Amino acid sequence: MNIEGMLKYQSLDRELNQLNEKFRTSDATVQYNRYMKLYKQTIEDGKRMSGVAGEHFVNLDRLTKQYEKLLADVEEYNTGINEITDLKQADYYEKQLIKLYTAIESVEKELDNLRKELVKLDADAKAFFANANGYFVNVKKATPEMEKVKVEIQSKAKEVMAAQKELEKTIEPELVEKYKKAKEIAKFPPLVPFDEATSSCMGCGLELSKDIVAKLRQDGGLEFCPNCNRLVYKQ
C-alpha cells in the first residue's frame, strides 16, 4: 500500500483546509459576511413590518366602515327626533342615541390608537429603508475585495487539487476509498499511525483491541479506529 503517497495526499488536504480557513477569516470575507448578515436581518425586519402594516390597514378599513355606519345611524335618529310625538318615543330615541355616541367614542379611540401605530410604523419604515439601503451599498462595496480574495485562493486550491489528482493515480483505489470515508466522518487528519508502544490509535489515543492490532500487524493492515473513526495504518 502506498501509505507515503496517501500521507502526501493528506498533507495536500491540510493545505486545502488552510486555504479555506484563510478565505473564511480574511478581512474581506469577514467584512462582506458582516454586512450581508445585517442586510438579511434588515430584510427580515422589513417583511415582519410589512405583515404588521397589512394587519393595520385591514383594521383601518373595518373601523372606518363601522364609523361611517354609526354616523349614518345617528343621522337617521336625528331626523327621526324631529318627528317625535310623545315623551316615551323621545326617551327611546335618546337612549338609542346615547348608545350610538358611546359606540362612536370607542371606535374613535380605536382609530386614534391605530393612527399612533401607523405613525410609529411610518418612522420604522423610514429607518428600514435607510438601513436596508445602507447595508446594501456596503455589501456591494465589500463584494469586489471578497471576490478578489476568493479568486486568488481558488486558483491556489485548484493547483493543490490538480496535484492530488496526479497523486491519486499512484495510490491503490481501495486505500483512497478508505481514506475518503474516514475524511467524511472523522476529524482531521483522517489517516493516523498505529502506536506500537501502547497499541493505540495516534489520532485519539484509544488502546485498540487485540483483534484490530492483529489485523494491523498483517502486511498492509489498515483499520478504522472504533472511537474516532480515523483510518489507522501500521508504519
List b or e across 4-43, with b for residues whose CB sees 16 or more CB atoms inside 10 angstroms: ebbbbbbebbebeeebeeebeebebbebbeebbebbeebe
How far apart are CB 35 and Zn ion at their closest, in Å? Answer: 42
Closer to Zn ion by Cβ: residue 128 or 203: 203
Minimal distance, residue 130 CB to Zn ion, in Å: 55
> How far is it, in rounded angstroms, from Cα 76 to Cα 59?
26
- Which C-beta is closer to Zn ion: that of 35 or that of 194? 194
Measured distance CA(185)–CA(187) in Å, rounded? 7
Work out how close the CB of 205 gets to Zn ion at its nearest, in angstroms, rounded to a whole number: 7
Strands laid side by side in the 200-201 sheet: 200-201, 191-195, 231-233, 222-224
- Identity of the residue, 139 or 216, whose beta carbon is nearer to Zn ion in the bound complex: 216
Question: What residues contact 157, with CB distance under 8 A and at least 6 apart?
Answer: 16, 19, 20
Which of 6, 146, 212, 228 lies at the binding interface for Zn ion (CB under 5 A)? 228
- Interface segment toward Zn ion; rule CB under 5 A; list 68-76, 87-95, 134-142, 224-232: 224-232
CA distances from 156 to 92, 153, 159 (A): 91, 5, 5
Question: In the complex with Zn ion, which residue's Cβ is closer, 146 or 208?
Answer: 208
Smallest gap from Cβ 206 to Zn ion, in A, equals 5
Which residues in 168-207 contact Zn ion (CB under 5 A)? 201, 203-204, 206
- Our CB check for Zn ion shows the closer of 199 and 227 to be 227
| Residues found in the chain | 235
By CB under 5 A, name the binding residues for Zn ion. 201, 203-204, 206, 225, 227-228
